[in-house]
Chains A and B, each alone.
Chain A
């Protein structure tokens, strides 16, 4: 069998595909973080908790009200996004004048509260969310069997990611948002309601996390810990991409999924630290991140 770096060639396309699936989750989550940091300067440690909440919203929606997957895909991010707006209005808003560290600590505390409460009510072992029927099958790609659902995750995430990038970088609304970060008082003088815009931004970023949670629900067990380990990796992705860079977070999310996928074959034991090794290297060589502006 032909080998590259000790990996049989036949395994490579399969691992590429899986790396892309995981990269899609990273991209979607880091995108929300990058939007929130880039436009608000808030380091949102509660991002993992909102992801978990998205998954729980889908699960409980199904169990209690019979809301199906497709509706949950819309409703869960909407609900969690509204919750995000409430958090911004009631809590985060009071911290803007202070050091960014306070926002970080507040969101960190919020994450502990959310995860602790979910643990208290639902325990730690988690619950299964069924794969929606329309996506239940698998496609035989020749080199691997790709579950339809995973393929859907890639497509959905890429569409949402580039849609978000387009809105922020290429539309008038996005231009207004970016103007708010550059010079809020001036924009306010033009008659734009900046505080409302900021609240909506936070809600939007959080909704992206919840959407990732709904997408993840049929793949993993829905439990209170699901966001905890992920959010740290996602932070590393954002740092690598360049804090606040929208495109950077999308591209580095997908790329790091791929790198991690290959590590799982070459040296599996290191697969959960490879992202951090890259982060350290990037911070040494290009402190602003791959796509960041100095």
Chain B
């Protein structure tokens, strides 16, 4: 009896946390949805900032397209694939959803991609990295917009192997994203004549990383590949510094966001190599957008937050160009058009759904090199989209090699 009361109370608490801002479906509206981690470990990477950025894009577009008002729906998937997928299905069935932006978490996005295919609603994956989304798990309605595990590995791992870091050991987040990132990096390391000495799979959100780090150190590898993200990444790097691991091993951030570097501080993060799809201080266009964003959120945008602005605009442009919200027509236009804005120049969406655009290999500045707030990265290398995302693998039936 008590257990049942408790269960009901817990369920009620969870349901409130998953609460969403709903709008009624109507024929004279364009409905844009955003399902993301709004309250968990990845919430700073896109989260509320992403919603703000999406709304900025809609306002800049004039708030309407084809004479219809643009409305938005947002929900917190709490990093649970079932919540993400069922919310997506509900919006598609009951709210006339036209397009969905998928925030962080590869696992959740794989679940949502299946709904995209079933409901024929385009899904722009913004925050998730798993390259399987445009390979084994690809659908005709998926666009992978900002970055993927292939591009991260091609950027960071290549730079480090070529710089002499030949033997690698990985600290891998134990879910779809971590394993995909580790596999991608391992391939790059081998292709460039390096060796993979092993990996330890760490449960997501571990409280302490030191034990895993000592195992990495015992492997004798030169490079510590951090195939994790968010707080897990920051806490593992912090512990690596504390335990003197960084004196014998070079840490490689296979995925790090601007917010992570901000949390860690330059003293801890300096010298780190990382790959990003966008940085606020690249050119006048990125700075202009970042300045407006900063005005609203009081922090600089991450690549994902800039990416959702660009993706929103791109979708609306495609709708305008074809004069319809019909998903098949819009997808055809999306794969035909060029993307030129503050996020990408000469970007295009390939048959398998990857948005091909330039990626940047960055090095984190030292405290002395950093001249003003948020001045964190220097560009080591600009990779062309083709180099970063690599050739079509053939794993996605939509695109042959």
- A residues contacting B by CB (< 8 A) are 8, 10-11, 14-15, 18-19, 21-22, 25, 99, 101, 104-105, 108-109, 112, 116, 119, 123-128, 131, 138, 144-145, 147, 149-150, 219-221, 223, 225, 229-230, 233, 261, 264-265, 268-269, 271-272
Within 8 Å by CB of B9, from A11, A18, A105, A261, lies A105
Q: Which one of B122-130, B133-141, B197-205 is at the A interface?
A: B197-205
Contact A125 B5 (CB under 8 A): no
Q: Do A220 and B211 form a contact, CB below 8 Å, given A126-B231, A128-B264, A271-B206?
A: no
A68 to chain B, nearest CB (A): 18
Report chain B residues within 8 Å CB of A22. 207-208
Chain A CB count within 10 A is highest, among B9, B210, B230, B264, for B210
Q: Is B259 an interface residue (CB 8 A)?
A: yes
- Compute how far the CA of A110 lies from the CA of B214 in the bound complex, rounded to whole angstroms: 38
Q: Is B270 an interface residue (CB 8 A)?
A: no
- Compute how far the CA of A11 lies from the CA of B219 in the bound complex, rounded to whole angstroms: 11
- Return the chain A residue nearest B213 by Cβ: A18
Report chain A residues within 8 Å CB of B234. 125-126, 221
Contact A112 B262 (CB under 8 A): no
**Size band of the interface chain B makes with A:** 35 or more
Report chain A residues within 8 Å CB of B238. 128, 219-221
Report chain A residues within 8 Å CB of B201. 268-269
Q: What are some 18 contacts across the A-B interface (CB < 8 A)?
A: A15-B214, A108-B9, A112-B17, A119-B39, A119-B43, A124-B41, A124-B43, A125-B234, A126-B263, A138-B244, A150-B210, A219-B208, A221-B234, A221-B263, A268-B174, A268-B203, A271-B202, A271-B203
Within 8 Å by CB of B44, from A105, A124, A264, A271, lies A124
Q: Mark B214-254, 1 if CB is under 8 A from A, else 0.
A: 11001000000000001100110011001110000000000
- Compute how far the CA of A128 lies from the CA of B269 in the bound complex, rounded to whole angstroms: 12
Q: Is B358 an interface residue (CB 8 A)?
A: no
Q: Is B277 an interface residue (CB 8 A)?
A: no
A259 to chain B, nearest CB (A): 12
- Compute how far the CA of A130 lies from the CA of B212 in the bound complex, rounded to whole angstroms: 22
Q: Is B265 an interface residue (CB 8 A)?
A: yes
Known: A15-B214, A230-B207. 19 other contacts (CB 8 A): A8-B218, A18-B211, A104-B6, A124-B39, A124-B41, A124-B230, A125-B230, A125-B260, A125-B263, A128-B264, A149-B242, A220-B208, A221-B234, A229-B205, A268-B174, A268-B201, A268-B202, A269-B174, A271-B202
The dominant DSSP class at the A interface is helix
Within 8 Å by CB of A11, from B205, B215, B262, B268, lies B215
Q: Is B42 an interface residue (CB 8 A)?
A: yes
- Return the chain B residue nearest A122 by Cβ: B44
The dominant DSSP class at the B interface is helix
Q: Is B194 an interface residue (CB 8 A)?
A: no
Contact A101 B2 (CB under 8 A): yes
Report chain A residues within 8 Å CB of B40. 124, 225
A8 to chain B, nearest CB (A): 7
Within 8 Å by CB of B43, from A99, A123, A127, lies A123
Q: Is B103 an interface residue (CB 8 A)?
A: no
- Return the chain A residue nearest B208 by Cβ: A22
Chain B CB count within 10 A is highest, among A19, A124, A225, A264, for A124
Report chain A residues within 8 Å CB of B235. 220-221
- Compute how far the CA of A15 lies from the CA of B218 in the bound complex, rounded to whole angstroms: 12
Report chain B residues within 8 Å CB of A125. 44-45, 230-231, 234, 259-260, 262-263
Contact B206 A272 (CB under 8 A): yes
Q: Is B27 an interface residue (CB 8 A)?
A: no
Report chain B residues within 8 Å CB of A119. 39, 43
Report chain A residues within 8 Å CB of B5. 101
Q: Mark B295-321, 1 if CB is under 8 A from A, else 0.
A: 000000000000000000000000000
Report chain B residues within 8 Å CB of A145. 243-244
B243 to chain A, nearest CB (A): 6
Q: Is B84 an interface residue (CB 8 A)?
A: no
- Compute how far the CA of A225 lies from the CA of B231 in the bound complex, rounded to whole angstroms: 10
- Return the chain B residue nearest A136 by Cβ: B242
Q: Is B15 an interface residue (CB 8 A)?
A: no
- Compute how far the CA of A225 lies from the CA of B17 in the bound complex, rounded to whole angstroms: 15
Contact A112 B44 (CB under 8 A): no
Q: Is B47 an interface residue (CB 8 A)?
A: yes
Report chain A residues within 8 Å CB of B2. 99, 101
- Compute how far the CA of A22 lies from the CA of B238 in the bound complex, rounded to whole angstroms: 16
- Compute how far the CA of A105 lies from the CA of B205 in the bound complex, rounded to whole angstroms: 25
Contact A229 B207 (CB under 8 A): yes
- Compute how far the CA of A233 lies from the CA of B205 in the bound complex, rounded to whole angstroms: 13
Report chain A residues within 8 Å CB of B215. 11, 264-265, 268
- Return the chain B residue nearest A101 by Cβ: B2
Within 8 Å by CB of B13, from A108, A150, A219, A220, lies A108
